[in-house]
């Protein structure tokens, strides 16, 4: 039998690898070939210095005929700054005029009462009173718990980043749809952008735009735009071919085709993209605050640096609440765009736009009263509540009373689970590991994938990042194993039990809207810094796709097959293990793939808690503004991500073909 022979081969190879991991080091030392284990420094190619030099040349000397590179970035940053300053003044700072050396506020920012009324009206307009209530309560929370001002700064940057991200994504997406060549050039760039960790491009952005809100906005847009590009291209492709034919038959020009047929017909999917851009922008707020964004993100970051649990938690929760409110609102708008809403035309402006009028009236009254009674302008500081002390006390209590238990758990996992994996990856000689990576690529994706895997692995070795890369792989691998062990059963449960599914759905939704940093705060408090802490934070962050994809895969097994199982007398357990799980395997694999991607992007953040991986390398580069070092380490992470991202879907496809879910030959 061919199958069992090839699996025997793989088992054999794994055993050899394991042996090499355990005894390779002593053998290499004995044979005086230590370079097999540790890549010699002398062989490292100084790519990072080359890149640093190039960046310096770009900023200092590069010239495009009429203007220099620096002038171009300055112009761009001026363009972004104008609307940002306006929105920020409107919501948070007020409009100033400089008189001599003092700034005099001539128009105050929007009164908090007016903003509250505005978002409630938006909620009602988008859906119903329930949504209006949720959104209103969220914003009221921000005011009452003293987060208003920071939240408005964050909101202002989201309001600038989102339209740019959506507009740019739409443009690139349309271009890619229209010109297959452009799409072919775009796809690998997008892949790279989505797998490359955010930190890696913070460094060059910082270098080009300087510390400040513009850098933060640029980073946010770069981070949030790729999904919009993809979703746009996909949505336009998915428009019913009959509708496209209709457009041609009506005699639409290319422009009419795009704007009057394709984009409106794809509206619903496009709104999913808009929602993604919003959520990713919010996800970026904390990281963006490292290069100059203020607001809630900055509050969390500085709290984290001060190890101020309470403060960090409060600002973190405020981000979550803001994210949930905006998320619900944008989703409601997405659904609304496909809902029938009767227009009562013909009547007066007031009758047609009752909400606008009410909000307008409230705005005028609140701003007017605000001149006399400050309460109407800004929520009084004395009236704010704080939960900071509560959180701090809770963590203190846990640490005092359960220190031993926490410590025991930590040591158990470190000794029994994490260290062996770490030793394995660090022990295998790098030439053997590269050979394995190439072999795996060849098995699942032919010689092209094998070649790509080989080149990327060689890049990592020759830039001297091998050890850090292996720590990255180990940390990521350990986290992904834990995330899968937890996530897959919950996904199965969610698929077979409706009620459990709903609860799990809410939990996962919340986990996903939480910006990644928020996880670090409590975990650091309980377990202090180190690999274990990093792993828990990664697991929490990367859990969602494992659950989601499993649920989708198990839940979407065709009803016929399940009925066939029932008819032939399978028990529920048998239906699950014999029918649903095997058929869901490809989806589960894709979920694991996504989990790996999230884990890798989280790794960089966990550098803050003292891991020694590529993430730390990027973090150091960021603090030292060492562009080349940051980019090379970022590429290293990206390459690990790309290898995983190519190999796993390829194996999922193999599984699909094996189960006859997709055409092709094994």
Partner 1 sequence: MTEQPKLACRNIWKLYGPDAESYLEKHPDPTLEDIRAAGLIPAVRDANIDIRDGEIFVIMGLSGSGKSTLVRCLSRLIEPTAGALEFHGQDLRAMSEREMIEIRRHKLGMVFQHFALLPHLTVLQNVAFPLTVQGQKKAAAEMRAREVINLVGLEGRETYYPRELSGGQQQRVGIARSLAVEPELWFLDEPFSALDPLIRREMQDEFLRLQGMLKKTIVFITHDFDEAIRLADRIAIMKDGAVIQVATPEELVLHPATDYVEEFTRHIPRAKVMSVGAIMERGAQGSGAGISQTAKIADIAAQVVAAQTPLAVADDRGQIVGAITREAVISVLVEQGT
Q: Which is nearer to partner 1, 29 or 268 (CB)?
A: 268
Distance (Å, whole) CA 428 – CA 289: 39
CA–CA gap between residue 52 and residue 531 (Å, rounded): 30
Residue 305's Cα: distance from chain center in Å?
22
The one segment of 253-261, 387-395, 419-427, 538-546 that binds partner 1 by CB under 8 A: 253-261
Rounded least distance, CB 248 to partner 1, Å: 6
State in angstroms the smallest separation of the CB of 313 from partner 1. 43
Return the number of the residue (247 or 477) whose C-beta is nearest partner 1: 247
Which has the closest alpha carbon to 316: 526, 527, 514, 533?
514
Q: Measured from the CB atom, is 257 or 369 closer to partner 1?
A: 257
Q: Per CB under 8 A, does 250 bind partner 1?
A: yes
CB of 243 to partner 1, least distance (A): 5
Tokens standing for residue 53: 């030099």
Q: Least distance to partner 1 from the beta carbon of 250, Å? A: 5
SS (H, E, C) 338-365: CCCCCCCCCCCHHHHCHHHHHHHHHHHH
Distance of CA 598 to the CA centre of its chain: 7
DSSP helix/strand/coil, 102: strand
Nearest to 331 by CA among 23, 123, 628: 123
Of the two residues 337 and 399, which places its CB atom closer to partner 1 in the complex? 337
Residues 6+ apart with CB under 8 A from 274: 162, 166, 228, 330, 334
Q: How far apart are the first and last CA of the chain?
A: 15
Q: Which of 89, 261, 428, 450 binds partner 1 (CB under 8 A)?
A: 261
Which H or E run includes 95?
A: strand 95-99
- Select 256 or 571, whichever has its Cβ closest to partner 1: 256
For the bound state, the minimum distance from the C-beta of residue 345 to partner 1, rounded and expressed in Å, comes to: 10
| Number of separate helices (H) and strands (E) present in the chain | 29, 4
To the nearest 10°, report the CA torsion of 599, 605, 606, 609.
Answer: -170
Q: Which is nearer to partner 1, 176 or 262 (CB)?
A: 262
CA distance 60 to 266: 45
Is the CB of 23 or the CB of 246 nearer to partner 1? 246
Q: Minimum CB separation from partner 1 for residue 265, in Å? A: 6
Task: Answer for the pair 532, 422: CB distance below 8 angstroms, yes or no.
Answer: no
70, 85, 337, 392: which one binds partner 1 (CB under 8 A): 337
Applying CB under 8 A, which part among 325-333, 334-342, 370-378, 525-533 lies near partner 1? 334-342
In angstroms, the CA 71 to CA 202 distance is 20
Positive or negative torsion for Cα 281, 286, 291, 296 = positive
In the complex, what is the shortest distance from the CB of residue 664 to partner 1, in angstroms, rounded to a whole number?
16
Per rule CB under 8 A, count of chain residues that contact partner 1: 21
Dist. CA 501–CA 597, nearest whole Å: 24
Nearer to partner 1, 250 or 510 (CB): 250
Tell me the closest approach of the beta carbon of residue 339 to partner 1, in angstroms. 9
Q: Which stretch binds partner 1 (CB under 8 A): 336-344, 388-396, 591-599, 624-632?
A: 336-344
Instruction: Provide φ and ψ at 64, rounded to 5°.
Output: -105, 65
Q: How far is the CB of 342 from partner 1 (least distance, A)?
A: 7
- Nearest partner of 577 among 557, 552, 592, 548, judged by Cα: 557
For the bound state, the minimum distance from the C-beta of residue 446 to partner 1, rounded and expressed in Å, comes to 20
The label of the residue with tokens 């290898």 reads: 643
Choose which of 4, 338, 401, 568 interacts with partner 1 (CB under 8 A).
338
CB of 266 to partner 1, least distance (A): 10
Contact residues for 519 (Cβ-Cβ < 8 A; gap 6+): 536, 537, 540, 541
Report in angstroms how near the CB of residue 232 gets to partner 1 at its nearest.
Answer: 17
Pattern 262-301, partner 1, x by CB under 8 A: --xx-x----------------------------------
DSSP for 283-333? HHHHHHHTTT--SHHHHHHHHHHHT-HHHHHHHHHHHHHHHHHHHHHHHHH
Q: Are 273 and 283 in contact (CB under 8 A)?
A: no
Going by the DSSP 8-state scheme, the letter that residue 580 receives in this structure is I
Stretch of residues binding partner 1 (CB under 8 A), selected from 160-168, 172-180, 249-257, 555-563: 249-257
Determine if 106 is a binding residue for partner 1 (CB under 8 A). Answer: no
Question: What mask of x and - would describe binding to partner 1 in positions 339 to 378, judged by CB under 8 A?
Answer: -x-x------------------------------------
- Stretch binding partner 1 (CB under 8 A), from 111-119, 154-162, 261-269, 292-300: 261-269
- Give the shortest CB-174-to-partner 1 separation in angstroms: 17
Span 229-248, contacts to partner 1 by CB under 8 A = 240, 242-243, 245-246, 248
Shortest Å, Cβ 338 to partner 1: 7
| Complex with partner 1: residue 251 or 660, whichever CB lies closer | 251
Nearer to partner 1, 264 or 380 (CB): 264
For partner 1, the closer CB: 188 or 664? 664
Nearer to partner 1, 274 or 544 (CB): 274
Total Cβ atoms within 10 A of residue 470: 22
Q: At what angle do helices 498-513 and 531-555 cross, to 10 degrees?
A: 140
Contact stretch for partner 1 (CB under 8 A) within 254-262, 368-376, 451-459, 630-638: 254-262
Contacts with partner 1 by CB under 8 A lie at 240, 242-243, 245-246, 248-253, 256, 260-261, 264-265, 267, 337-338, 340, 342
């Amino acid at each position: 039998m061919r199958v069992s022979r090839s699996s025997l081969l793989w088992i054999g190879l794994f055993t050899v690898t394991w042996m090499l991991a355990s005894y390779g080091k002593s053998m290499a030392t004995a044979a005086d070939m230590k370079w097999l284990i540790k890549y010699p420094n002398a062989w490292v190619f100084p790519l990072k210095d080359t890149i640093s030099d190039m960046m310096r040349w770009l900023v200092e000397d590069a010239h495009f005929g009429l203007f220099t590179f620096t002038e171009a970035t300055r112009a761009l940053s001026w363009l972004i700054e104008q609307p940002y300053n306006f929105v920020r003044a409107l919501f948070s700072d007020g409009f100033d005029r400089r008189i001599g050396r003092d700034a005099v506020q001539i128009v105050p920012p929007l009164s908090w009462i007016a903003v509250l009324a505005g978002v409630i009206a938006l909620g009602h307009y988008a859906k119903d009173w329930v949504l209006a209530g949720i959104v209103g309560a969220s914003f009221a929370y921000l005011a009452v718990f003293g987060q208003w001002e920071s939240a408005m700064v964050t909101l202002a940057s989201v309001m600038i980043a989102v339209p740019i991200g959506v507009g740019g994504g739409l443009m690139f997406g349309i271009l890619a749809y229209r010109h297959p060549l452009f799409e072919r050039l775009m796809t690998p760039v997008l892949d790279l952008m989505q797998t490359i960790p955010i930190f890696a491009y913070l460094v060059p952005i910082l270098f080009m735009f300087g510390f400040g809100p513009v850098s933060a906005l640029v980073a946010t847009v770069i981070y949030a735009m790729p999904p919009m590009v993809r979703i746009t291209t996909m949505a336009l492709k998915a428009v019913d071919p009959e509708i496209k034919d209709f457009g041609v038959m009506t005699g639409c020009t290319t422009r009419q085709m795009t704007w009057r047929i394709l984009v409106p017909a794809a509206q619903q999917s496009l709104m999913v993209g808009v929602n993604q851009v919003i959520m990713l922008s919010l996800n970026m707020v904390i990281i963006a605050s490292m290069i100059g964004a203020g607001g809630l993100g900055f509050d969390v970051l500085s709290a984290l640096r001060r190890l101020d649990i309470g403060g960090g938690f409060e600002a973190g929760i405020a981000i979550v609440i803001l994210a949930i409110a905006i998320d619900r609102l944008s989703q409601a708008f997405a659904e609304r765009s496909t809902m029938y809403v009767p227009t009562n035309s013909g009547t007066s402006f007031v009758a047609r736009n009752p909400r606008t009028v009410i909000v307008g009236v409230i705005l005028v009254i609140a701003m007017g009263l605000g001149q006399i009674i400050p309460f109407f302008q800004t929520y009084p500081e004395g009236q704010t509540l704080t939960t900071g002390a509560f959180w701090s006390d809770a963590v203190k209590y846990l640490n005092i009373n359960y220190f031993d238990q926490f410590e025991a758990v930590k040591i158990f996992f470190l000794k029994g689970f994490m260290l062996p994996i770490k030793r394995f990856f660090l022990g295998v000689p790098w030439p053997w590991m590269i050979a394995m990576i190439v072999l795996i690529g060849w098995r699942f994706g032919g010689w092209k994938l094998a070649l790509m895997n080989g080149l990327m692995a060689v890049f990592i070795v020759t830039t001297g990042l091998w050890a850090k890369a292996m720590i990255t792989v180990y940390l990521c691998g350990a986290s992904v194993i834990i995330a899968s062990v937890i996530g897959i059963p919950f996904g199965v449960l969610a698929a077979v039990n409706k009620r459990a599914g709903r609860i799990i759905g809410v939990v996962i939704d919340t986990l996903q809207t939480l910006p990644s940093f928020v996880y670090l705060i409590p975990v650091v408090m309980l377990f202090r810094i180190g690999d274990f802490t990093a792993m828990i934070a990664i697991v929490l962050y990367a859990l969602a796709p494992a659950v989601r994809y499993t649920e989708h895969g198990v839940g979407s097994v065709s009803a016929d097959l399940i009925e066939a199982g029932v008819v032939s007398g399978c028990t529920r357990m048998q239906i699950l293990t014999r029918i649903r799980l095997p058929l869901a395997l490809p989806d589960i694999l894709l979920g694991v793939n996504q989990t790996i991607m999230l884990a890798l992007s989280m790794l960089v953040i966990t550098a803050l808690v003292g891991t020694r991986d590529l993430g730390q390398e990027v973090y150091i580069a960021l603090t030292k503004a060492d562009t080349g070092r940051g980019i090379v380490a970022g590429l290293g992470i990206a390459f690990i991500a790309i290898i995983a991202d190519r190999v796993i879907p390829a194996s999922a496809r193999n599984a699909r073909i094996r189960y006859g879910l997709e055409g092709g030959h094994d």
